[in-house]
Structure 1
Amino acid sequence: MTDVLKEALALKEYCTGCRQTVHQNPELSFQEFQTTAFIRRQLEEMGVEILPLELETGLVAIIRGGLGDGPVTGLRADIDALPLTEESGAPYSSQNPGAAHSCGHDGHVAVLLGVAKLLHQWRDRFSGVVKLIFQPGEEGLYGALKIVQSGALKDPDVEEVVCLHGWPYLKVGEVGVWPGEYMASADMFQVRVIGQGGHGARPYKAMNPIPAAALAVSALQNIVSSEIVTAKQAVVSVCSIHAGDAFNVIPGEVKFGGTVRCLDPGVRDELESKIRRTVEGAAQALGCRAEIEYTRGVPALYNDPGVTQNLEKAMVKALGQSHVKPLDGPVMGSEDFSNLVSAVGKGAFFRLGIGWPDGTEYTALHNGAFNFNDEAIPYGIAVMVQYILDRHSKDAR
């Protein structure tokens, strides 16, 4: 067992206590006031410096290496919860109705607090600066932009940024990272198909928007399969639709909306144009008109190959080759960590296994029954600390 992993394991009890405290007191995006205060207290007790930023929630701490000038690296943990009712049955279950840590951000906070404790103790072992980013509002998809706008990544300028995310499809003790395109951009659309309401018994006196909306929804499903290059991954999903209140009344309008995911910026532009054309055309074909509100969300997440390679080396060094597992490839979920990567210039996002060692299926993310596996915390700490020690060693530059 390496020294880094040994020391990380020694922090497990402390970090588990932190994780369960955060879990029991979940707060939604940009409402993480108690969570921020808790993190601040932990860092102050360690003696870690906290940057004086104008952030309502979230914070950024800084650890200066004792070996002089060197790299500047950001490590990020998201801190917000989901608008769900917890169903895990844990004795430390959510005390805030309608909020639950069902994506594991409580575990990410615990890992980064462990990293802070170990790096602060070992600051005479590395050069340069490490910025610890406790980011609000990841589920809201704009928390990373708040960090960027706060100036936290400047003076000194962060050159690389890294984060982890708990992953039920790897076992505890396993980690993995994928180079290049890894997570999709996330855009959304809201559509109003406007017709003319009337009596259900006299459709010829009305202009029913429901068939027009149905045609539009059906046609949207053909865009990816028929109009996007087969090798390019993309998703167009209609996820909500609302029309009418009575069985015998033709409504005046139909509202529906959905999400658009892709990995390629060019495809992203294509999809917006094709969705607008498809929806407007379907509405016009049946005598209605359409209004479309199309909102760009986070960009696709690109894992820098060089950062990825160095992360893999740190994984092997900290945990051993057998603990580093190949990932299945790009996923169509999205992460606003991509906004941090875009602001910094390069970074990487890696997976931390939280699944059961015996292979029993672990509860999926974004499920009310999900509960982060505390056994995984030391492995996340070990990888991040080893990455910093390697990148910020005296001979790194």
Structure 2
Amino acid sequence: MYSKDELLTKAAGIKPWLVEIRRDLHRHPELGMEEYRTRDKIIEYLTEMGIPFERDIAHTGVVGFIEGGIEGKTIALRADIDALPITEMNEVDYKSQNVGKMHACGHDAHTTVLLGAAKLLNDNKENLKGNVKLFFQPAEETVGGAKPMIEAGVMENPKVEAVFGLHIAPDIPVGEIGVKYDQMNAASNSLSITIKGDSAHGATPHNGTDAILIAAKVISALQTIVSRNVDPRDSAVISIGVIQGGTAANIIADTVTLTGTVRTLHPDVRSYVLKRIEEVVSHTTQAMGGTFTLTIKDGYNVLINDNSMVDIVKQSAIELIGEENVHQLQLPSLGVEDFAFFAEAAPSAFYRLGGRNEERGIVHGLHTNQFDIDEDCLPLGAALQALTVYKYLNEKK
């Protein structure tokens, strides 16, 4: 096992390599389930390091395997590899070359950090008490690659006892991290509501049933679920993002379609809110003489960290960067993260790695066309993931 100073020195020594990887990936972003070049580059780096792997898991996923020199447990590190449909506006020499696609959520950095951790661990694998699986996961931003990877068996043979992952945080300065106990990210569901009325001339609305008016009442009524049905001490969000309906200014619309999203932080609240949505849509629509169809689809589950795993990350970070640079986050995010499925399958911890640098103007948020990172976070992330592995495998009973 490396000492703290040895680990930081070795991580700093591979920074140029990490920067080269990250910038190459950043120049060539690919959307979910289309990460063919990214997959091939990951395979190229694993091959150079002599790390065996399985490819094309859950379509474009890759799983590397580092076998330690001492028999022990198996844990996994996870990175997502897909990009977003955003046109990059940064004028940098590593600007996206794929028009309309951009690594605006830092998955290029996540992939790089995992490759860096793999190198640090693999170079010292004879002192590793156990094994490490490297999960390079597709499609976090779209259909979600975590669940199909699990269904493909990545948590078995050998059985994975714990999973650790991280996400770049543009609101945390580089050199610092954020950890969160219990709930980290919300669960999501998508809504599609089609409201049917009867068309009529706009001058004689009494001859029809106004689907737009019904839709307005439905949207207003849905908000009462959060304000009047959910315990104020819990969290829920219902957002309607798209309204489509009507054909002309003087025609009463006979069809309106609403689409939106639901976010919750507790499984019981999730079930209750979805039940109330169906009741509210049904009763409101019928009371106004219309009919409806409602489709609710599951998205990602709530990401709940295992507190003992968070303790390991926290202690590793304190050793590397000092307690003053380790922030305990108080509030969960209502954003979603499909690492949640790994966290359901095994005790896990997901944390935030600072990438902000105000002096260099690196301040823009995730999913924006000017997002960037301070690349000093890359060796730190690699070292922290590696030390977390050592602590779990060598110290945890």
Question: Partner letter of residue 114 of structure 2?
Answer: L
CA drift of 1:30 comes to: 0.7
Aligned to 1:369: 370
Aligned match of 1:381: 382
Give the structure 2 partner of residue 229 of structure 1: 231
- Look up the match of 1:352: 353
**Match among 317, 320, 336 for residue 318 of structure 1:** 320
1:337 paired residue number: 339
Q: State the Cα distance separating 1:357 from its structure 2 match.
A: 5.6
Q: Which amino acid aligns with 2:132?
A: V
Runs of 4+ in 1 over 2 A off after TM superposition: 51-56, 357-361
Tell me if the contact between 1:317 and 1:386 (Cα under 8 Å) persists in the aligned partners.
no
Question: C-alpha root-mean-square deviation of aligned residues, in Å?
Answer: 1.5
| Structure 2 counterparts to residues 82-97 of structure 1, below 5 A | 82-97=84-99
**8 Å contact from structure 2 (residues 362, 373) kept in 1:** no
TM-score (norm 2): 0.96
Map of 1:70 onto structure 2: 72
* Structure 1 residues 190-248: Cα deviation after superposition (integer angstroms, max 9, x where no partner): 00010012222221222110000000001111111110011111111111111123212
Partner of 2:6: 3
SS in 2 for 1:330: coil
Aligned partner letter, 2:35: E
Q: Which residue of 2 aligns with 1:212?
A: 214
1:144 & 1:53 partners in 2: Cα distance? Answer: 13
**Secondary structure class of the residue paired with 2:327:** coil
The farther-off stretch of 49-58 and 281-290 is 49-58
2:294 is the alignment partner of 1:288: no
Question: 2:231, 2:59 → 1: CA distance?
Answer: 43
- Please state if 1:38 is matched with 2:41: yes
Query: How far apart in 2 are the matches of 1:361 and 1:95?
Result: 20
Q: Quick check: 1:243 aligned with 2:245?
A: yes
2:78 paired with 1:56? no
Structure 2 counterpart of 1:253: 255
Structure 2 contact 362–371 (Cα < 8 Å) conserved: no
Q: Which amino acid aligns with 2:28?
A: N
1:359 Cα offset (Å)? 9.8
Distance of 1:296 and 1:197 partners within structure 2: 33
> How many matched pairs?
394
Percent of aligned pairs with the same amino acid? 35
SS at match of 1:51: strand
Give, as a single letter, the amino acid of the residue that structure 1 aligns with 2:74: V
Unaligned regions of 5+ residues in structure 2, if any?
A: none
Aligned residue number for residue 305 of structure 1: 307
Q: Equivalents in 1 of 2:239, 2:360: separation in Å? A: 31
Q: Bigger CA drift: 51-60 or 345-354?
A: 51-60
Output the amino acid matched with 1:97.
V
SS at match of 1:124: helix
| CA displacement, residues 132-159 of structure 1 (integer Å, 9 cap, x when unaligned) | 1000010114210121122111100101
Matches of 1:240 and 1:72, distance apart in 2: 45
Give the corresponding residue for 1:178: 180
Residue 28 (1) aligns with residue 31 (2): yes
TM-score (norm 1): 0.96
Offset, 1:9: 1.3
Distance 2:98 2:55 in 1: 29
Conserved 8 A contact 1:141-1:336: no
Tell me the alpha carbon deviations over residues 314-345 of structure 1, each in whole angstroms, 9 at most, x when there is no partner: 111122222212224211111000011112x2
Cα distance in structure 1, aligned partners of 2:192 and 2:331: 30
Pair 98,360 (structure 1): closer, same or farther in 2 beyond 3 Å: closer
Matched, 1:12 2:8: no
- One-letter amino acid matched to 1:327: L
Structure 1 position 361, deviation (Å) = 7.1
Q: What are the residue-to-residue correspondences of 1:108-123 with 2, within 5 Å?
A: 108-123=110-125
Q: What secondary structure, in the 3-state scheme, does the structure 2 residue paired with 1:71 have? A: strand
Partners of 1:209 and 1:288 within 8 A in 2: yes
